[in-house]
Amino acid sequence: MNFFTDLEGQNNRPAHVASWSLVALLLAAVFWFGFSRLGYRFAWGTIYDYRMNFLKGYGQTLLISLFALVFSIILGVLFGLGQSSRILPFRYLSRFYVELVRGTPLLVQILIFFYVIANAAGLHNRFVVGVLIMALFSGAYIAEIIRGGVDSVGETQRETAKSLGFSPFQTYLYVIFPQVITRILPSLAGQLASLIKDSSLLSVIAIKEFTMAAREMNANTFSTMEAYIPLAIGYLILTVPISRLTRYLERKFSYET
């Protein structure tokens, strides 16, 4: 059995299966060694008592992530294009927003938004606050993704569209956007996975999402492993398919260089 692949990545199914099996065995051995050294005694029955909390938290995480993704795409398009806008105040506002969000930790943004901005605005719905925080955070990264996608379209294509009588709006609509969408889809899919994982930090402001459910169970029962192992598995169930989708989109929309 050949465990090596050539540069063209020829399919060798038995080798792939054997390789994944070795990885699984190695991980199992590491966890077994760690837990045996700790002498930890599992009490999996506690999970059943908190099953509804976990399910509700899982649903909250999904809803927050999906709503935040929609709003972050809107913000990303707005500020991504705004970074090259001819309107100077809007251009500088777009760049300031992107640099501010990307240059500060998400945890700090959550605390400032919740305790300062949301309180000042009289916004007390924690679900809405969570969606807005994640949308603002993710929107800055999507803005950079979109800006990079727009910049990747050659200047000659813009000049050709202009010579054909296209207005700037028509140039973006018919020439630039169709290419940008296919080029940024893999990055957008990856951003969704990051958004789901980053939403776990919302537990610090007591939003009842997936991580908060695990923290409550741990606080009430002191069943640390029983709370956080299902938490990790739950996030993997959400993010692994997205990671696979990202790789598929990268292969599908890859361009020759």
Work out the number of other CB atoms within 10 angstroms of the CB of residue 51.
Answer: 11
Instruction: In whole angstroms, give the CA distance from residue 228 to residue 231.
Output: 5
Q: Examine the domain organization and report whether 101 and 181 are in the same domain.
A: yes
Say how far apart CA 116 and CA 209 lie, in whole Å: 22
Q: Which domain holds residue 36?
A: 1-40
63 and 114 share a domain? yes
Answer yes or no: do 139 and 55 share one domain. Answer: yes
Listed in order, strand segments (DSSP E) in the chain are none
pLDDT single digits (tens) 49-107 = 888 999 999 999 999 999 999 999 999 999 998 998 888 999 999 999 999 999 999 99
Same domain, 139 and 76: yes
Predicted model pTM: 0.81
pLDDT at 156: 82
Same domain, 36 and 105: no
Q: How far apart are the first and last CA of the chain?
A: 34
- In the chain, how many domains are there? 2
Same domain for 92 and 196, yes or no, is yes
Residues 141/191, Cβ–Cβ less than 8 Å: yes
Q: Where are the alpha helices (DSSP H) in the chain?
A: 13-38, 45-49, 51-82, 88-102, 106-112, 119-120, 126-151, 155-163, 168-171, 177-198, 210-221, 224-252
pLDDT tens column, 179-213: 888 888 888 888 888 999 999 999 999 898 999 99
